[in-house]
């Protein structure tokens, strides 16, 4: 199965001020991402507030993205939900409209405590799109599924034909590397934390990854891999350090979904508010964030 | 606002073997519950696998229950979901079809960490059914919303006009009692753990409650309050102890949603399997559970 | 084995301003407790900052308490530590000086994850004082030992000859009751949360208990059981509610060890500061706490 | 202040079969470590079961190590305990006997929740050995002190004169790097997870580190840095992968303290059992572990 090379972006879902989905802005958004070196999008995931959307909105967003992206720009549709039948329908739909791949995280409810439960969940969804690669999205901090991914790979191997790999959004580079080495690298281990691309590359991983701060800091993040491959370690470190500086800022403003989405507005792409229960930033918070970003000269670094 | 008196049942959602919803069995199910002393149902909640159903199924189930129940038997519809717009639609629907009340738990994703987020979430949903009492369903073990319910009441008070109270499914009888005493008992604190009805009654609470093991052990559980009110402490203790014995058994079989649902089959009401990712009981497990129930003479105690 | 009847107090360890142990004040402190209806003390536990003392100080404190208490006033010495050899020595010492009993909580390091580890730990300590009853002190919020106490009783039964029971400081009245009913009430289940004495009594438990707020609210707390036994439910509820009001206050000031210890000063028994890493209350905090206590008329209720 | 270069080992504490400390074997043990490229030892820490020893044993162990090590081989004494006065005495002793440095982890009881509490704790200990560098040992998985180390550095800076840096045993390479970059690299950030030395080196860190599996896999682990500095990325990866393979094995046998200590016996250095509450490996488990190690050809790799 093809392995992803380079960085995929996890876009925010654009809303109008009344919190209805803004499909209009997507072509422009897609252009920005392609221009900055991203290789595709992983839509309706955590950055995209996928769980806050209904099934119909999620399908329409998938259609909008598939239609908007340039040639060879991958659209991976996150179809995970707490209702596996709904997820399967979204998987079928993704395949029908020509998406490149699908993905699903573990459901946050009920909390998944056994590898077998997770395999079953993925199996029922993945079979809805048998021609597309299926990625499991591991983000246990969000859904409590602190399971061994190595044991999960063993359980999945040979059982889900279109299982492609894992979007690994967790701190353990040790487990990441064990999974990467599983069966001589059989599965595609997409690195999922923008703050550690360089160390992961050094270990042999991070050939492909999915980013969240790539929405507004894409050239910096894609540049890490370029510099590493060119043997320019100093440049790679400088870029990785700068990526961390930007992440520091959003951590002061409730993270990427809230703070990061607001950065988009500051660079000219107003993607609107977050849906409830996210607590939107106040104007005062926005002003403070802008100052913090100016202090690291962000607006001359980021790429619009 | 009217306070609930007596026990409300949280029914399981009946499925056919293929996991499609079995609406047919609901009238018979409702009769069983009314016969055993229950005062109503809280549908599409955790016992009812509400999060595993899609919006359409949840609405149809609400209609089926409203149609099936005897006069004065309350139907409270759990409308919580991760998509607040969908929840609001279900609230509107509940009011339109003549449900008695609505409820919502905190969303499991994103994990709610601030009281203000939770108030906002409840507010947007509750306003969909302004004529119905709205209950917040506090079950932090399932969704991670370990917030102070006392602070929540203070924040909600005067802000959500149809806020009625809390279904309190948590171990802290201390916090429960503080909430019960808030503003001289302004809000309805429904007790939500079948294992501690008697101690809660002693403290002045548990006038109303919502049960999960009431599906198959209703007379025992409703009997606790009757005995207590009749001043028969020994009887109340005996019944509470027995209720705990039954709960011990289901704890050996993945709890009420999995184990409890299977007990229904053993007493003649086959409600089918659980949906993924729940791991259904094997026949061997069912046989073992039957033995454990026989050892406490359950089949002569429960009421069919 | 004798079962404890009534409430035992968990005293604070008195320090001089320089944080050296103040042994002088103990006779006066013991008189206060006896006067307020307490039946004994559980020393060097969590309220007593036992883990912040060295082995020598703990032994001297045990000697001071044994010497100070009136006849038939029980002294139970908490001897738990992370060094099981040190704990055993303290157990031997407790027996040698004529203490009534000993106790130990699970060590916080390493976190105990298996019942067998806990049994072994208790066994090695208990055998140091074979003539004294040994109580396991269950307070998982403090040491992470979230193990099934029912399974622990099964494992301990018949293996530790002087095992007497559990000081149960956890919210689950369900588990408490299961343990209480184990082997027809073989073990002594000391109730360990002042906020739920009444509900526990109703269920058949709390015949004996160990309190932390009994240091400054002893008559109220011992009164709950008296009222209950006299059949005066209203009085019992009133006292339990009041006990919760007092606990509300200390919860605003870092709990009993910090806030509660400072109340002692306010009622005329200055027990000094807490040891590091506890953060002592500022004068401003003390003033605010005093106000909150006055608002519930505490200084006319408590008993000096 | 001098920064540590290379790897320091965290030795196990040798016991006789009766669990008394075996001081005799220490010279031989020290030789092994020096021979394998280690630059020093961090004694009485988690691998060394420091919390399971009493103060006297800990001091004698410090003396034995200081006496046993070759010239320029650093002895850092972990003096952390729940009793800060005892810790301070051990700090004074370490300085008096000529140790190179001291360290302390956050106490596991009470759980430290505020940066200020932790600073105070370190301050009271560090001032016992004013002439020695003091390292904070960050291992929150063991003591629950999940505090921001960046905020801790800010709070400590300028307040504890002999504060040298952090032994960082946590997964977040992002936080590690932020700390490393704090005030232009003012503090010494010792890397503390053997499984991620290479990725950390790539990011600019891990110039110094403290290892636990270095006891029996020292040449492999010290080789990672050598290969990296020689520009031999392939070799560095191969060694890091192998280090992870060895760690995989101990993870099957209750980790380094239990499983790793038993490996020492298998390579000819019998360091005896673990103290309670650790559950010692059975002979059957030892045999299985031996097989797993043979399967990765460990006994020809490790260095005796």
CA–CA separation, B37 and A179 (whole Å): 54
The set of chains that have 3 or more CB pairs under 8 A with D is A, C
The reply to whether residue B203 touches residue C240, judged by beta carbons under 8 angstroms, is: yes
User: If chain C, 304 residues long, is cut into consecutive pieces of 10 residues, what is the mean pLDDT of each piece?
Assistant: 96 98 98 97 98 98 98 98 98 98 97 96 98 98 97 98 98 98 98 98 96 97 97 98 98 98 97 97 98 96 70
Contacts of B86 in chain A (CB under 8 A): 54
In sequence order, the β-bridge partners of residue B134 are B102, B163
CA–CA separation, B73 and B66 (whole Å): 9
Contacts of D195 in chain A (CB under 8 A): 173-174, 177
pLDDT digit string, tens, across residues C261-300: 999 999 999 999 999 999 999 999 999 999 999 999 999 9
**What tokens appear for C233 in the block?**
């439910």
What is the reported pLDDT for A230? 98
Confidence at D127, pLDDT banded by 50, 70, 90 = very high
Contacts of B247 in chain C (CB under 8 A): 174
What is the reported pLDDT for B1? 82
What is the reported pLDDT for C303? 67
Average pLDDT, chain C: 97
What is the reported pLDDT for B222? 97
On the 0-12 / 13-18 / 19+ scale of CB atoms within 10 A, D279 is middle
Give the single-character DSSP code of A70. P
In 3D space, the residue among D3, D181, C153 whose CA is nearest the CA of residue A238 turns out to be D181
In 3D space, the residue among B201, B127, B122 whose CA is nearest the CA of residue B166 turns out to be B122
Q: How far is B15 from chain C (nearest CA, A)?
A: 31
Q: The domain that contains C95 carries what CATH number?
A: 3.20.20.70
Among chain B, residues having any CB pair with chain A shorter than 8 Å are 19, 51-55, 82-86, 106-112, 114, 116-118, 120-121, 124, 142-144, 257, 275-279
In sequence order, the β-bridge partners of residue A104 are A136
Report the first-to-last Cα separation within chain A, whole angstroms: 34
Q: Is residue D251 part of a domain?
A: no
Q: How far is C82 from chain D (nearest CA, A)?
A: 5
Q: Which residue among A84, A277, A278 places its CB closest to the CB of B275?
A: A84
Confidence at B303, pLDDT banded by 50, 70, 90 = low
pLDDT digit string, tens, across residues D159-197: 999 999 999 999 999 999 999 999 999 999 999 999 999
Domain count, chain A: 1
Q: Catalytic residue among A167, A168, A216, A269, which?
A: A167
pLDDT digit string, tens, across residues A185-228: 999 999 999 999 999 999 999 899 999 999 999 999 999 999 99
Residue to substitute from D109, D112, D278, D282, interface C, most C β-carbons within 10 A: D109
Q: Is residue D155 part of a domain?
A: yes
pLDDT digit string, tens, across residues B79-121: 999 999 999 999 999 999 999 999 999 999 999 999 999 999 9
The DSSP secondary structure of D220-284, one letter per residue, reads HHHHHHHHHHTT-HHHHHHHHHHHHHHHHHHHTTTHIIIIIHHHHHHTT-----PPTTS-PPPHH
**What tokens appear for C185 in the block?**
């009430």
What is the reported pLDDT for B240? 98
Residue to substitute from D203, D204, D256, interface A, most A β-carbons within 10 A: D203
What is the reported pLDDT for B134? 98
Among chain D, residues having any CB pair with chain A shorter than 8 Å are 171-174, 177-178, 181, 193, 195-196, 198-204, 233, 237, 240-241, 244, 247-248
The reply to whether residue A117 touches residue B278, judged by beta carbons under 8 angstroms, is: yes
- For residue B138, what is the enclosing H or E element? strand B134-138
**What tokens appear for D41 in the block?**
């030892």
Three-state SS annotation for A173-194: HHHHHHHHHHHHCCCEEEECCH
Catalytic sites of D, residue numbers: 137, 167
Q: Which residue among A55, A124, A277 places its CB closest to the CB of B121?
A: A277
Confidence at B42, pLDDT banded by 50, 70, 90 = very high
| Nearest-Cα residue of chain D relative to residue A240 | D203
Cβ atoms within 10 Å, residue A197? 26
Contacts of B250 in chain C (CB under 8 A): none
What is the reported pLDDT for B304? 67
Q: Which residue among C173, C233, C237 places its CB closest to the CB of B173?
A: C173
Find out whether B100 and B132 touch, Cβ atoms under 8 Å: yes
For residue A304, pLDDT over 90 is answered with no
Q: How far is A236 from chain D (nearest CA, A)?
A: 9
Q: Which residue among B112, B144, B276 places its CB closest to the CB of A277?
A: B112
The number of C-alpha atoms within 13 Å of B18 and in the hemisphere containing its C-beta is 1
The reply to whether residue D82 touches residue C51, judged by beta carbons under 8 angstroms, is: yes
The reply to whether residue D117 touches residue C144, judged by beta carbons under 8 angstroms, is: no
| Nearest-Cα residue of chain B relative to residue A118 | B277
Give the single-character DSSP code of C82. S
Matching residue, tokens 């572990």: D289
pLDDT digit string, tens, across residues B67-88: 999 999 999 999 999 999 999 9
Find out whether B164 and B101 touch, Cβ atoms under 8 Å: yes
Residue to substitute from B83, B93, B212, B259, interface A, most A β-carbons within 10 A: B83
Q: Which residue among D106, D277, D279 places its CB closest to the CB of C107?
A: D277
Q: Angle at CA D166, nearest 5°, toward D160 and D172?
A: 135
Q: Which residue among D174, D195, D204 places its CB closest to the CB of A174?
A: D195
Find the mean pLDDT for residues B184-209: 97
What is the reported pLDDT for A131? 98
Q: Is residue C65 part of a domain?
A: yes
Residue C88 CB contacts under 8 Å (≥ 6 apart), including other chains:
C79, C124, C125, C127, C128
CA–CA separation, A109 and B46 (whole Å): 9
- For residue C185, what is the enclosing H or E element? none
Residue B174 annotated to the active site? no
Among chain A, residues having any CB pair with chain B shorter than 8 Å are 19, 51-55, 82-86, 106-112, 114, 116-118, 120-121, 124, 142-144, 257, 275-279
What is the reported pLDDT for C304? 67
ipTM, 2 dp? 0.96
pLDDT digit string, tens, across residues D64-105: 999 999 999 999 999 999 999 999 999 999 999 999 999 999
For residue D304, pLDDT over 70 is answered with no
Answer whether B touches C (≥3 Cβ pairs < 8 Å).
Answer: yes
The percent of residues above 90 in pLDDT, for chain B, comes to 98
Find out whether C203 and B198 touch, Cβ atoms under 8 Å: yes
The percent of residues above 70 in pLDDT, for chain D, comes to 99
Q: How many CB pairs under 8 A join A and B?
A: 97
Matching residue, tokens 């043997």: A231
Q: Is residue A57 part of a domain?
A: yes
CA–CA separation, B232 and A143 (whole Å): 46
- For residue C75, what is the enclosing H or E element? strand C74-78
**What tokens appear for B79 in the block?**
């409308």
Find the mean pLDDT for residues D260-288: 97
Q: CA of C144: how far to CAs of B16, B57, D82, in Å?
A: 42, 41, 16
The reply to whether residue A107 touches residue B277, judged by beta carbons under 8 angstroms, is: yes
**Top-confidence residue, D1 or D5:** D5
The percent of residues above 70 in pLDDT, for chain B, comes to 99
Answer whether D touches C (≥3 Cβ pairs < 8 Å).
Answer: yes
Handedness of CA D63, D65, D71, D75 (dihedral sign): negative
Confidence at D301, pLDDT banded by 50, 70, 90 = confident
The set of chains that have 3 or more CB pairs under 8 A with B is A, C
The reply to whether residue B120 touches residue A84, judged by beta carbons under 8 angstroms, is: no
Q: Which residue among C172, C178, C201 places its CB closest to the CB of B171?
A: C172
Residue A265 annotated to the active site? no
Q: Which residue among B19, B85, B120 places its CB closest to the CB of A54?
A: B85
Q: Is residue C130 part of a domain?
A: yes
What is the reported pLDDT for C21? 98
Q: Is residue B67 part of a domain?
A: yes
| Nearest-Cα residue of chain C relative to residue D258 | C110
For residue A303, pLDDT over 90 is answered with no
For residue B136, pLDDT over 90 is answered with yes
The percent of residues above 90 in pLDDT, for chain A, comes to 98
The set of chains that have 3 or more CB pairs under 8 A with A is B, D
**What tokens appear for A71 in the block?**
């040639």
What is the domain range of residue D207?
A: 6-234
Q: What is the CA radius of gyration of chain C?
A: 18
The reply to whether residue C241 touches residue B196, judged by beta carbons under 8 angstroms, is: no
CA–CA separation, C82 and D19 (whole Å): 15
In C10-73, beta strands by DSSP E: 40-43
Residue to substitute from C203, C224, C231, C250, interface B, most B β-carbons within 10 A: C203
Q: Is residue B119 part of a domain?
A: yes
Q: Catalytic residue among B29, B137, B168, B269, which?
A: B137
Find out whether D142 and C111 touch, Cβ atoms under 8 Å: yes
In sequence order, the β-bridge partners of residue B41 are B9, B75
What is the reported pLDDT for B226? 97
Give the single-character DSSP code of A254. T
pLDDT digit string, tens, across residues A228-262: 999 999 999 999 999 999 999 999 999 999 999 99
pLDDT digit string, tens, across residues A100-114: 999 999 999 999 999
What is the reported pLDDT for C1? 82
Find out whether C118 and C149 touch, Cβ atoms under 8 Å: no
Q: Which residue among A106, A109, A112 places its CB closest to the CB of B143?
A: A109
Query: Can you state the angle between helices D55-68 and D26-35, rounded to 10 degrees?
Result: 50
Answer whether B touches D (≥3 Cβ pairs < 8 Å).
Answer: no
Phi, psi of C264 (to 5 degrees): -55, -40
Q: How far is C118 from chain D (nearest CA, A)?
A: 7
Report the first-to-last Cα separation within chain C, whole angstroms: 34
């Amino acid at each position: 199965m093809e392995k992803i090379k380079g960085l995929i972006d996890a876009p925010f879902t654009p809303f109008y001020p009344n919190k209805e989905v803004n499909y209009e802005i997507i072509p422009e958004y897609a252009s920005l991402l392609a221009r900055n070196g991203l290789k595709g999008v992983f839509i309706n995931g955590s950055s995209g507030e996928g769980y806050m959307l209904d099934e119909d909105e999620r399908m329409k967003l998938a259609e909008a993205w598939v239609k908007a992206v340039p040639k060879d720009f991958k659209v991976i549709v996150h179809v995970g939900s707490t209702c596996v039948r709904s997820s399967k329908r979204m998987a079928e739909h993704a395949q029908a409209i020509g998406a490149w791949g699908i993905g699903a995280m573990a459901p946050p409810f009920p909390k998944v405590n056994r590898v077998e439960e997770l395999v079953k969940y993925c199996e029922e969804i993945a079979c809805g799109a048998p021609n597309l690669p299926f990625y499991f999205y591991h983000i246990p901090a969000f859904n409590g599924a602190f399971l061994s991914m190595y044991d999960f790979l063993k359980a999945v191997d040979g059982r889900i034909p279109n299982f492609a790999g894992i979007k690994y959004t967790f701190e353990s580079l040790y487990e990441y590397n064990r999974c990467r080495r599983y069966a001589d690298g059989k599965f595609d281990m997409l690195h999922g934390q923008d703050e550690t691309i360089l160390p992961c590359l050094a270990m042999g991983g991070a050939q492909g990854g999915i980013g969240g701060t790539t929405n507004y800091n894409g050239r910096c993040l894609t540049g890490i891999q370029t510099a590493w491959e060119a043997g320019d370690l100093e440049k790679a470190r400088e870029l990785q350090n700068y990526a961390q500086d930007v992440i520091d800022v959003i951590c002061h403003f409730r993270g990427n979904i809230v703070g990061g989405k607001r950065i988009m507005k500051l660079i000219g792409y107003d993607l609107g508010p977050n849906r409830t229960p996210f607590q939107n930033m106040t104007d005062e918070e926005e002003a403070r964030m802008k100052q913090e970003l100016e202090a690291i000269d962000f607006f001359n670094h980021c790429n619009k």
